[in-house]
Structure 1
Amino acid sequence: MAHDCIPNTKHCFDSDLNIIIRSTVPIRKGNSITTTYTSTLWNTLQRRRQLKAAKFFLCSCRRCKDPRELGTELSTLLCSDCGGHVVSLDPLDLSSSWSCQKCNNTILGRSVMWGDQQLYKELRSLDNSSAKPLEEFFDRYHKALHPKHRFFVEAKYGLVKFYGNHPDYRYRDMTREQLERKVKYCRELLELADVIDPGLSLFRGTLLFELQAGLVALARMLLSNDILTKEGTQDYMSEAVKHLQEASDILKHEPEMENGGLDAKLKILSDELDV
């Protein structure tokens, strides 16, 4: 299948190792059916380097051509001099210099590439038994990376899946700040998904499932602390039901969710939230 950095299909394998391809968005007659050979969450620098090394070609799709990656800012850095946005002068040239859009300060392409590789290694090496290393990652690099940068996106996605799903961060034991952070990150990542991985993608399905769980847990905590009335929680619950329905429609096709897998996950969540 053809590659695109915003694919219109997703794939998985069944127990017999048959590949299953499903469209994630409507595909018009005559349009290419595409997949991605990398990860939609990677920035342009990492995607194109991987494609060059593993597939022997360089992508030039509309996302790769745009220094701001269609407004997602997954590649954008912050200027050390003025705090302005630093983007590649030519995203299709891996050696291209990067320039601040505010003060025109320039950074060599090889310096950006080196920094990208170092941060990739650091993020992968973080202790995954606690949420704290991911939370501290934001503090270390908030002056160097755009708030929507790819590495912050990966850290947010990691925290979204960590909060409520790890034995040390069960919903009933989480603070209001942690619950609100989970909901906030889910909403931010869903906005990103609508651009780079839209429709029935696994990324969106997972985010919707985690968002509804976070909303229910937050409403329950606010109610138990008399911050909200029972009637006041209805907006939370109504939104959660809507997200759960859409998440179920997406995730029911995933192999691990078939044969009752989704029902089992919902039962565990229900028991944890006591709803």
Structure 2
Amino acid sequence: LEHLKQTKLFQCTCVRCSDPSEFGTYFSAMKCSGFNKELNCGGMLMPENEKSWSEGKWVCNKCQGSVETPRILNIVNRCKMDFEAMEKTNEQHCNKYIQHYSRWLSPNHHYIVDVKILLSQIIGGGSPDAIKRIPEESLMNKIKICQELIALFQKVCPGKRR
């Protein structure tokens, strides 16, 4: 929902976008444990209501702990600035971004997904033979990332196949 607002300048009110979990994708959610270290519940923080995107608080879907929206926005703004500044053709920079921001962002957060898409193209990209020359660790990372993206896209676009 917030991703559409930021990138398309439009606020969707469909059933899926009105669901705080965005149909279980957690595309804008934050990890509760990233903000509440003593609460390692594994839950996701989501806006308490529509106004919570800009004010109010975000509430964990497991422990009901809450975080004030300005703290959430501070992290999201840092994610955005670092994403914009990141060298998007550098595999190490992309991996470092995911490793760093995975503390706060859900695994399917739109910034993490954007970087995973970049990595899926970078690793073994370039020439048809490039995939044969990449280290096994990078290849396994690419497979894992692609599987995660496929699972996400099946939720976002069920029934769509390319």
Partner of 2:82: 122
Letter in 1 for 2:91: A
Change (3 A) 1:61 1:92: farther
| Unaligned stretches of 5+ residues in structure 1 | 1-43, 206-275
1:74 aligns with 2:31: no
Of 106, 111, 115 in structure 1, the residue corresponding to residue 71 of structure 2 is 111
Identify the residue that residue 45 of structure 1 maps to in structure 2. Answer: 2
**Matched residue of 2:49: which SS?**
coil
Checking the alignment, whether the CA contact within 8 Å between 1:64 and 1:92 is kept in structure 2 is: no
Shift of 1:188: 1.3
Provide the aligned C-alpha RMSD in A.
Answer: 2.4
Q: 3-state SS of the aligned residue for 1:147?
A: coil
| Structure 2 unaligned residues grouped into runs of 5+ | none
Match of 1:85 in 2: 44
TM-score (norm 2): 0.80
Residues 50-70 of structure 1 deviation map (CA, whole Å, 9 limit, x = unaligned): 55xx45xx3211122111110
Change (3 A) 1:124 1:199: farther
1:71–1:121 CA distance, 2 compared to 1 (3 A): same
CA 1:135–1:102 in 2, change beyond 3 Å: closer, same or farther?
A: same
Give 1:159 deviation, angstroms: 0.4
**Partner SS for 1:148:** coil
In the alignment, the residues of structure 2 paired with residue 136 and residue 174 of structure 1 have an alpha-carbon distance, to the nearest angstrom, of 18
Shift of 1:142: 2.3
**Aligned pairs for 1:1-275 within 5 A:** 44-50=1-7, 54=9, 58-79=11-32, 80-81=35-36, 82-83=39-40, 84-91=43-50, 93-94=52-53, 95-166=55-126, 170-200=130-160, 205=162
> Contact 2:2 / 2:28 at 8 angstroms: preserved in 1?
yes
- Is 1:86–1:99's contact at 8 Å kept on the other side of the alignment? yes
Q: What displacement does 1:118 show?
A: 2.2
**Structure 1 position 199, deviation (Å):** 4.6
- 2:45 aligned counterpart, secondary structure: strand
SS of aligned partner of 1:98: strand
Q: Distance in 2 between matches of 1:147 and 1:119?
A: 14
How far residue 155 of structure 1 moved from its aligned partner, in angstroms, is 1.3
Relative to structure 1, is the Cα distance of residues 66 and 178 closer, same or farther in structure 2, using a 3 angstrom cutoff?
Answer: same
What's the CA shift string for 1:118-154, capped at 9, x where partnerless?
2122112111342000111122122212222222211
Name the CA shift for 1:134/1:108 in 2 (closer, same or farther; >3 Å): same
Once residues 126 and 50 of structure 1 are traced to their aligned partners in structure 2, the CA distance between those partners, rounded to angstroms, is 18
Distance in 1 between residues matched to 2:21 and 2:63, nearest whole Å: 17
Cα distance between partner residues in 2 of 1:100 and 1:93: 13
TM-score by length of 1: 0.50
Q: Which runs of 4+ in 1 moved over 6 A?
A: none
Q: Higher relative contact order by CA 8 Å / sep ≥ 6: 1 or 2?
A: 2
How many pairs does the alignment contain? Answer: 154
Superposed CA deviations along residues 189-248 of structure 1, whole A, max 9, x for unmatched, are 111111223455xxx64xxxxxxxxxxxxxxxxxxxxxxxxxxxxxxxxxxxxxxxxxxx
